A and B are shown apart, each in its own frame.
Chain A
Amino acid sequence: MPQFNLYQEEFHPSPLMHVWLEFKRSHFALIGFAVLLLFCAIAILAPLLAPYDPNIQNTNTILLPPAWEGNGSIAHLFGTDALGRDVFSRTLYGCRVTFGSSVFLVLISVFCGVALGTFAGMSKGVKSSILNHLLDSLMAIPTLLIAIIIVAILGTGLWNSMWAIVLALIPQFVHQTRNFVREEMKKDYILLDKLDGTSSPRIFWSSILPSMFELLVVQGTMALSVAIIDISALGFLNLGAQNPVVELGASLSQSLEVAYSAPWLIALPGFCIFLMVLSINIVGEGLRSALRNRLVH
């Protein structure tokens, strides 16, 4: 018997859509998302947005305060630093380097971590056990400490500090992936795949990876905030980016010498790092609660 249906268009949102619907219910998460998108835009468009070259030294205007202060000039929105470089342009380029390189290195470490973790999770025996436990206890060493040690070995520089942070971030992805793969391998739908004669790579690729994707995104946002803080901390300690590369942490430490006469030189780059990390954390928090609520409903 045909049933009467008032609503002709049935709409079944996809799991991703569910997450988005849950996510956008929180206004703070949306604001954080907007700020994050702004930083993405800055990272991509910095050369178009910046009014000056970040390394050009204009000795006529040294230590100009920001435009909103009495003797500031609108030509230099955030003022100039001790060498007469435009702080607004430097901040934009700094965001580009700090944010861009952090995204880049998180992507690399997700890739390596998932590959290793899958291997560890799908293999059995002494070999995998040694790998797992060793990685677990090495993971206890904080990322920044590992990064400092690796930079001490490789020497300073942006690339070296990036490698260091990649190496330091990998274990947590290995750990997460391995645990997840272990859990999934016990479930019935994987058994079904196995009974059908599916090969291990295909099981991973078409059955496990899609369900792991959300976990990776959440873990990735956490790793991104850690990466930004670490890369700017290394820059601040003069172990990361060196001149002429403009990096927020490094420019913060360079302006320490004039901190008393020009406090905005410390406030602005630091505030940018803070805002970046804050927006990422808010988005990560929003994503986590969206995923949790989606499973509840």
Chain B
Amino acid sequence: MINLLMRYVNLLVLTVSVLVIFSFSLAYLFPGDTLTNISGIVPETDAQRAALEEAFKLNSSIFAQFWHYLENLVSGNWGVSFTSQVGLFEQISIAFPASMELTIYALLVSIVVGIPLGFIGGIWHHKPFDFGVVSFSIVSYSFPVFWLALIFITIFSLQLGLLPLSGRVNLLYDVPHSSGFILWDIWQSDIPNKYDAFIDAIRHLILPTASIALVTTAIFIRFTRRAIMDEMEKGYIDAAKSRGFTTKQIFFKHGLRNALVPILPLMAMQVSTLITNAMVVETIFSWPGIGNWLIQAIYQRDYPAIRIGMLVVSVFVVTLTITIEFISRAIDPARDKFERATI
């Protein structure tokens, strides 16, 4: 166990340091002045330039610079945005929870819809209902997520006028920012029409969540279906049948549990896909999340923001993956190695 933990910590440190070194070298790789790329400030006078170079230790050796960069990263002193001159740490701490909120709700929807459908498909495989489930999953897996979001907007916002087009909550409601999760913030706040604001926020959430969740639901259906099919073919199920258990007993006592263990970590791994899709959908729904922010930064050639945004998102995804991998191996020692999905 300690051995396993050490191996994963080692892997995590190695990967994160590769990412940090990469992001540090981006300051040199990006076009333009290295000083501006690393600090986000365009020096106007020579004195200011010298002061900035001193502050970021640009005159020292590359290792001293990197060490200083690391210190800044850890202390949350991430420099300022090139275009808005606002601190990057503050911007990301607003944008990141917004994306996470969208991702978490989409994950919940996918689990609630995908797993039961996959179960039914897996039990009655090669029956008409299973055929429908599989077709649904293939079709929805093939949707380009941005097109799906546009279709939803066209149907539900423009044609039917049922749901709002963009944003997180109506501007009428002045929700104070505390955690960054809009529903939680509204719940915690003491604004007068809290209930209306809550409903409004949910109405804003429906379309983005649905367009992200559809693809992931398709993946979950296939994971679950395949896992159940494989599990129900195993020898111990036959043994249980021969002992006279009913199919229901076998399924709920053995098949379900054993099939769930390997696929739960696989599903958690899908968070990274969800985040990517959320980043694309955010730009369509003007959702103030990390994806929207990062893509705006790319349009504006805001190199400090791109550097930090890339680092934050990739470190988050890698940490999440390695942690899930570790947990899944710790609770299920029988598996020799982390398995990739089969669908």
Question: Hey, which bits of chain A sit against chain B, CB under 8 A?
Answer: 130, 133-134, 136-138, 140-145, 148-149, 151-153, 156, 175, 225, 229, 232-233, 236-239, 249, 252, 256, 259-260, 263, 266-267, 270, 273-274, 277-278, 281-282, 285
* Of B142, B146, B275, B340, the contact of A145 (CB 8 Å cutoff): B275
State which residues 137-194 of B face A: CB under 8 Å: 138-139, 141-147, 150-151, 154, 158
The CA-CA distance from A255 to B139 in the complex, in Å, is 25
Q: Is the interface of B mostly helix, strand, loop or mixed?
A: helix
Q: B295 contacts which chain A residues (CB < 8 A)? A: 148, 237, 239
Cβ-defined contact, B146 with A137, below 8 A: no
The CA-CA distance from A265 to B175 in the complex, in Å, is 38
Cβ-defined contact, B276 with A145, below 8 A: yes
Q: A145 contacts which chain B residues (CB < 8 A)? A: 272, 275-276, 279, 313-314, 317
The CA-CA distance from A206 to B279 in the complex, in Å, is 44
* Of A148, A225, A229, the contact of B279 (CB 8 Å cutoff): A148
* Of A134, A140, A260, A285, the contact of B18 (CB 8 Å cutoff): A134
With A134-B14, A233-B280 given, is the CB distance from A141 to B317 under 8 Å? yes
Cβ-defined contact, B11 with A137, below 8 A: yes
Does residue B9 face the partner (Cβ distance < 8 Å to A)?
Answer: no
* Of B15, B276, B280, B306, the contact of A138 (CB 8 Å cutoff): B15
The CA-CA distance from A145 to B280 in the complex, in Å, is 10
Cβ-defined contact, B318 with A282, below 8 A: no
Cβ-defined contact, A237 with B283, below 8 A: yes
Beta-carbon nearest neighbor of A269 in chain B: B147
Q: A140 contacts which chain B residues (CB < 8 A)? A: 269, 272, 317-318, 320-322
Beta-carbon nearest neighbor of A228 in chain B: B144
Q: Count chain B residues whose beta carbon lies closer than 8 angstroms to a beta carbon of A.
A: 45
Cβ-defined contact, A259 with B26, below 8 A: no
Does residue B298 face the partner (Cβ distance < 8 Å to A)?
Answer: yes
Listed residue (A137, A138, A239, A266) with the most chain B CB atoms within 10 angstroms of its CB: A137
Does residue B195 face the partner (Cβ distance < 8 Å to A)?
Answer: no
* Of A137, A141, A153, A238, the contact of B29 (CB 8 Å cutoff): A153
Q: A238 contacts which chain B residues (CB < 8 A)? A: 299
The CA-CA distance from A267 to B306 in the complex, in Å, is 32
How close is B250's CB to chain A, nearest CB, in angstroms?
23
Cβ-defined contact, A153 with B144, below 8 A: no
Beta-carbon nearest neighbor of A238 in chain B: B299
Q: A236 contacts which chain B residues (CB < 8 A)? A: 144, 146, 280
State which residues 71-124 of B face A: CB under 8 Å: none
The CA-CA distance from A224 to B142 in the complex, in Å, is 12
Q: A134 contacts which chain B residues (CB < 8 A)? A: 11, 14-15, 18
The CA-CA distance from A142 to B318 in the complex, in Å, is 10
Does residue B212 face the partner (Cβ distance < 8 Å to A)?
Answer: no
Q: B138 contacts which chain A residues (CB < 8 A)? A: 278, 281-282, 285
With A152-B310, A238-B299 given, is the CB distance from A225 to B150 under 8 Å? no
Q: With contacts A237-B295, A252-B146 known, what are 9 further pairs, Cβ within 8 A?
A: A142-B273, A145-B272, A145-B276, A148-B294, A152-B310, A153-B306, A270-B151, A273-B147, A278-B139
The CA-CA distance from A270 to B143 in the complex, in Å, is 9
How close is A216's CB to chain B, nearest CB, in angstroms?
15
Cβ-defined contact, B154 with A137, below 8 A: no
Q: A278 contacts which chain B residues (CB < 8 A)? A: 138-139, 142
With A140-B317, A142-B317, A153-B29 given, is the CB distance from A233 to B145 under 8 Å? yes
With A142-B272, A145-B276, A175-B340 given, is the CB distance from A239 to B146 under 8 Å? no
Cβ-defined contact, A274 with B275, below 8 A: no
State which residues 286-324 of B face A: CB under 8 Å: 294-295, 297-299, 306, 310, 313-314, 317-318, 320-322
Does residue B30 face the partner (Cβ distance < 8 Å to A)?
Answer: yes
Beta-carbon nearest neighbor of A222 in chain B: B343
How close is A257's CB to chain B, nearest CB, in angstroms?
13
* Of A137, A225, A263, A270, the contact of B147 (CB 8 Å cutoff): A270
Cβ-defined contact, B18 with A225, below 8 A: no
